[in-house]
Amino acid sequence: MGQLNASVRYSLGMEASTAVETATATEPVFTLALTQDQKDVRDWVHGFAKDVMRPAASEWDEKEVTPWPIIQEAAKIGLYGFEGIAQFFADPTGLTLPIVNEELFWGDAGLGMAIMGTTLAVAAIVGQGTGEQIGHWIPRCYGTPDEVKVAAFCASEPNAGSDVSQIRTTAKFDDTTNEWVLNGQKAWATNGGISDVHVVIASVDRELGSRGHAAFIVPMSECKGITQGAKVSKHGLRASHTADVYLDDARIPADYVLGGKEKLDERLARVREGKKAKSQAAMQTFEASRPTVGAQAIGIARAAYEYALEYAKEREQFGRKIIENQSIAFALADMKMEIDAARLLVWRASWMGRTGQRFDNAEGSMSKLKAGEVATWATERAIHILGGNGYTREYPVERWHRDAKIYTLFEGTSEIQRIVIARAISGMHIK
Ligand SMILES: Cc1cc2nc3c(=O)[nH]c(=O)nc-3n(C[C@H](O)[C@H](O)[C@H](O)COP(=O)(O)OP(=O)(O)OC[C@H]3O[C@@H](n4cnc5c(N)ncnc54)[C@H](O)[C@@H]3O)c2cc1C
């Protein structure tokens, strides 16, 4: 088949697999037509979300403990685990990962985060680890279907949330034992303290600010100095475990620094000589992971929209269905439009990340910002449409509203996303 330009391919609605096959390195293709594989994965995950997650959601939200049986069920069908995640990542269009996340979080966000929280650590290992480290540590993040494990990514600290340059956890190298020694306190770590594999961001040289940071693997099964602090009781995502993590002379072998010690020493030497750090690479990694988080927010928003639509078509007041009032029908129209708009931004950014496009306008941040704000707004609208029922725990929309709020906070708050976008479009150092 001859080469078509991207807009013609888009309007023809070509199957993604065909379109991607015809793409050249200089002319990547974007299409909204899902491949049969993508549709199959979507329907498979939707089935799990509907049959396993939805019926269990309220119970685990109330209990606020890690839903190990649900994670195990996901592992048994291959939805949770190394092979599953590798298959979702492998899709050359980049759309499978957001599709999977949207369906899971449509099922339930707390359970969804219990299943997907491990990918934060996995993404750091894939992004920064050597081939050997990836092969060794990623299977350990997931365990096996008979003995499932989770993993934690620990960057935030009590005084370093948005401003990661303030990280105080230190990693010092002990030449006598050939070990790293970590000390500090991590805050709000998803799966913190219940994981074996903890990826910990620590400062190797405080004077270099965030350019002196490195990522370390601290496995609880091998290291006495890592312990769980207080478990956090939360507004939403209550089935997902969040806790402080303490590092108290936590000793790990030299080669547990991601990327290897030699590479780290070279990088630090370059920075000390005043050479430019590879901040663009880090920026690209964040931009590529943000759409996945946005897709989770869209799953919650879609759940609330669908529920409110059905309710409005059933509920009668003043002798007519409440949806027959324009104010209700228009609210639902706006919800549908905003959710679809957010999904388009998420899919565009996912496709850009997977096909190696430059995020010149911080398109990844745009997608996460829009999706998080749409989810918070749409779930509030859904409560409103359900009236008094929406405010009670007899109906799921209040849970979805509680779950949605975190999407304007973690993985960079809405203000931080706006700063990133503003800097990208202006080239100025906006504060
Ligand atoms: C449920 C949950 C799970 C989490 N999971 C993890 C995890 O697995 N790993 C991890 O490392 N962290 C995790 N976090 C931490 C999360 O990433 C941080 O909470 C988040 O980055 C915000 O940091 P902060 O809470 O310190 O807020 P702050 O940085 O103190 O911000 C407070 C407010 O000030 C605003 N603000 C800050 N700076 C500026 C500025 N320059 N301009 C304008 N406004 C600004 C913010 O937007 C926000 O509204 C999690 C948090 C929660 C609640």
pLDDT digits (tens, 9 = 90+) for 170-187: 999 999 999 999 999 999
Catalytic entry in 15, 306, 411, 415: 411
> 411 catalytic, yes or no?
yes
Count of H-run helices and E-run strands, the chain: 16, 9
Beta strands in 78-225 (DSSP E): 152-154, 170-174, 179-190, 197-203, 213-219
Flag whether pLDDT at 20 surpasses 50.
Answer: no
408 CB less than 6 Å from ligand 1?
Answer: no
Q: What span, in angstroms and rounded, lies between the C-alpha atoms of 431 and 280?
A: 19
Determine if ligand 1 sits within 6 Å of the CB of residue 177. no
In the chain, the amino acid numbered 400 is W
- pLDDT score recorded for residue 293: 97
pLDDT over threshold 60, residue 11: no
**Could you tell me where the beta strands, DSSP code E, fall in 119-178?**
152-154, 170-174
Separation of 394 CA from ligand 1 center, angstroms? 31
pLDDT at 241 over 60: yes
Q: Write down the pLDDT at residue 170.
A: 98
pLDDT at residue number 29: 78
For ligand 1, what atom is nearest to the CA of residue 414?
47
**pLDDT-derived band of residue 13, with 50, 70 and 90 as boundaries?**
very low
Ligand 1 proximity of 202 Cβ (cutoff 6 Å): no
For the chain, domains (ranges, CATH) are 6-142 (1.10.540.10), 152-272 (2.40.110.10), 279-426 (1.20.140.10)
Does the pLDDT of residue 135 top 50, yes or no? yes
d(C-alpha 121, C-alpha 245), whole Å: 15
Asked if residue 166 has its Cβ within 6 Å of ligand 1, the reply is no
| Residue 44 alpha carbon to ligand 1 centre in Å | 34
pLDDT at 14: 36
Q: Is the CB of 118 under 6 A from ligand 1?
A: no
Across the range 121-131, mean pLDDT stands at 94
CB 126 within 8 A of CB 217: no
Q: What digits encode the pLDDT tens for the residues 296-344? A: 999 999 999 999 999 999 999 999 999 999 999 999 999 999 999 999 9
Q: Whose CA is nearest to atom 26 of ligand 1?
A: 161
- Residue 164 CB less than 6 A away from ligand 1: no
Could you tell me if the CB of 375 is within 6 A of ligand 1? no
CB under 8 Å to 49, separation ≥6 — which residues? 103, 104, 106, 107, 108
Locus of tokens 């092969």:
135
Contacts of 113 (CB under 8 A, 6+ apart): 190, 237, 239, 240, 296
In 27-178, the DSSP E strands lie at 152-154, 170-174
**Residue 412 is which amino acid?**
G
pLDDT at 223: 97
Question: Residue 359: its pLDDT value, please?
Answer: 94
* Max CA separation in the chain (angstroms): 82
| Residue-level pLDDT at 173 | 98
**Whole-prediction pTM value?**
0.93
Mean residue pLDDT across the chain = 92
What pLDDT is recorded for position 196?
97
Q: Probe ligand 1: pick from 238, 406, 413, 418, max atoms within 8 Å of CB?
A: 413
> What distance in angstroms lies between residue 106's CA and the mean position of ligand 1's atoms?
24
Q: Residue 392: is it exposed, middle or buried by C-beta count within 10 angstroms (0-12/13-18/19+)?
A: exposed
Which pLDDT score, from 0 to 100, does residue 284 have? 65
How far, in Å, is the centroid of ligand 1 from the Cα of 16?
37
Cα 35 to Cα 422: distance, rounded to the nearest angstrom:
35
Q: Is the dihedral of CA 384, 100, 32, 410 positive or negative?
A: positive
Q: How does pLDDT run across 76-91, given as a tens digit for each residue?
A: 999 999 999 999 999 9
Three-state secondary structure readout of 315-379: CEECCEEHHHCHHHHHHHHHHHHHHHHHHHHHHHHHHHHHCCCCCCCCHHHHHHHHHHHHHHHHH
Residue 252, pLDDT above cutoff 60: yes
**Are the CB atoms for 343 and 323 separated by under 8 Å?**
no
Higher-pLDDT residue of 284 and 112 is: 112
d(CA 162, ligand 1 centre) in Å: 5
What percent of the chain is modeled with pLDDT above 70? 91
**CB of residue 237 inside a 6 A radius of ligand 1:** yes
159/167 Cα distance (integer angstroms): 8
Residue 275, pLDDT score: 78
Question: Is residue 361 predicted with pLDDT exceeding 70?
Answer: yes
